[in-house]
Structure 1
Amino acid sequence: MKLSELATIKTGLVMARKQAKQPCKEVVWYKQLNLRSIHPDGYIERTYVEDFGAKETLPAEYLTQSGDIVVRLTTPYTAVLIDDEWKGVVVPSHFVIIRPDNRLLSEYLYWLLNTKKIREKLTQNVSSIMIGTIKPKSYACLDIEILSLEQQQRIARLNLLAKKELDLLERLKEQKKLYYETAIDRIQREMRDKEYEKDDKE
């Protein structure tokens, strides 16, 4: 089935139309996604999420809801799964918001959209070679294999477990890297100190 038959797919907000101009008496503040805030591994990087001042309350359709899939329209077409932590965030127009119906688990779709097979399909629909942009209808036209909810859940659980494990391993890698760098720096300082002591005695 086409993804458009299993989910609502909507382009994000054109931000300039709703941005509060200065000076403005009343500004409604939101958090806003941007391309830098979407990590290639499929999660939101808090550091890069920005504040957005709107001139009025924004329609709910442009704000993230738990269970949404937000996907880039530019390479590498990364999809992120929205959980309770990231509800109510503004989605700009260089993303699409996908809200699956009850036949399609969000966690399963999140895995599927980030697979190599799907990304290769998307690259066939690139409209601008310069920045690798695709149109929202490229997602709407994707063929989705419908598995039973139980099968979807098994895949989704394994995918999320793998991501958690890989994240822990990455953190461990960084900690080990810092540990060895610190140890080497300490040895170098000790060697320099001994050289200084030797020079003083001479």
Structure 2
Amino acid sequence: MKLEMIGDIHLGMALNRKKADFDFNVKKRYPVISVSNIEEEGYFNNKGFEYFPSTELLSKKYFTEEGEVLMRLTHPNTAVYISKKQEDLLVPSYFVKIKITDKNYLPEYVAWYLNSEETKRELQKVQSGTRVTSTSKKVLETLVIKELSIEKQKRIVDLVELHQKEKTLYEKLIKEKEKQLAAATAEIMAD
């Protein structure tokens, strides 16, 4: 089924229109999502969020809500599920927010599907731009999301979550091994 049929898609806010140039013009500072907060595999990293100095109070429609999917409009078009921890973050215009309204689709499954190689290849065919390729909202609306039973979607989501946990543990292990190697070689050199 087409993405526009299973969810509402909204562009993020053009930040330069509301950015305060001077501190005395700042009405409020909002935490904002940037490309550096999201890993290409489709999950949030531990980097802190930047703060956007706004000249006015902004509409809630530009902020993340738990259960939504956020997708980057430029390459590599990474999609990420918004959990409770990522609520109330300002969404800039190089992302779209997708609120899944069809109960036959899990938002986590949709995020995974949007990150699949098949979907990425499909998006590459229709992207515009020469230096920085971009995907339009219209293109996203026409993307077909394969319908599976909720049970199968849950199995996929569970596998993806397990894979991400394992990957994080492997990365921590590698960092620890590098520290051990550095300490061992330093000790040998000191002898």
Mapped pair 1:140 → 2:141: yes
The letter of the residue matching 1:181 is: A
Count of matched residue pairs: 190
The 8 Å contact of residues 36 and 47 in structure 2, kept in 1 or not, is answered as no
Structure 1 residue runs of 4 or more that deviate by more than 4 Å after TM superposition: none
CA distance in 2, matches of 1:82, 1:123: 24
1:119 Cα deviation after fit: 0.6
- Give the % identical residues: 32
Q: What is the correspondence of 1:141-156 to structure 2 with a 5 Å cutoff?
A: 141-156=142-157
Larger deviation: 45-54 or 78-87? Answer: 45-54
The 8 Å contact of residues 42 and 112 in structure 2, kept in 1 or not, is answered as no
Match of residue 63 from structure 2: 63
The 8 Å contact of residues 64 and 91 in structure 2, kept in 1 or not, is answered as yes
The 8 Å contact of residues 31 and 90 in structure 1, kept in 2 or not, is answered as yes
1:23 Cα deviation after fit: 4.8
Alignment RMSD (CA, Å): 1.5
CA distance in 2, matches of 1:22, 1:147: 51
Match of residue 123 from structure 1: 124
Match of residue 40 from structure 1: 40
Q: What SS does structure 2 have at the residue aligned with 1:150?
A: helix
The 8 Å contact of residues 34 and 48 in structure 1, kept in 2 or not, is answered as no
Which structure 1 segments of 5+ residues have no match? 191-202
The TM-score normalised by the length of structure 2 is 0.93
CA distance in 1, matches of 2:184, 2:128: 51
The letter of the residue matching 1:161 is: L
The TM-score normalised by the length of structure 1 is 0.88
Match of residue 195 from structure 1: none
1:39 Cα deviation after fit: 1.7
The letter of the residue matching 1:168 is: L
Which structure 2 segments of 5+ residues have no match? none
The letter of the residue matching 1:124 is: K
The 8 Å contact of residues 108 and 153 in structure 1, kept in 2 or not, is answered as yes
The 8 Å contact of residues 33 and 90 in structure 1, kept in 2 or not, is answered as yes
Q: What SS does structure 1 have at the residue aligned with 2:10?
A: strand
Larger deviation: 83-92 or 37-46? Answer: 37-46
Mapped pair 1:4 → 2:4: yes
Q: What SS does structure 2 have at the residue aligned with 1:93?
A: coil
Match of residue 194 from structure 1: none
Q: What is the correspondence of 1:176-195 to structure 2 with a 5 Å cutoff?
A: 176-190=177-191
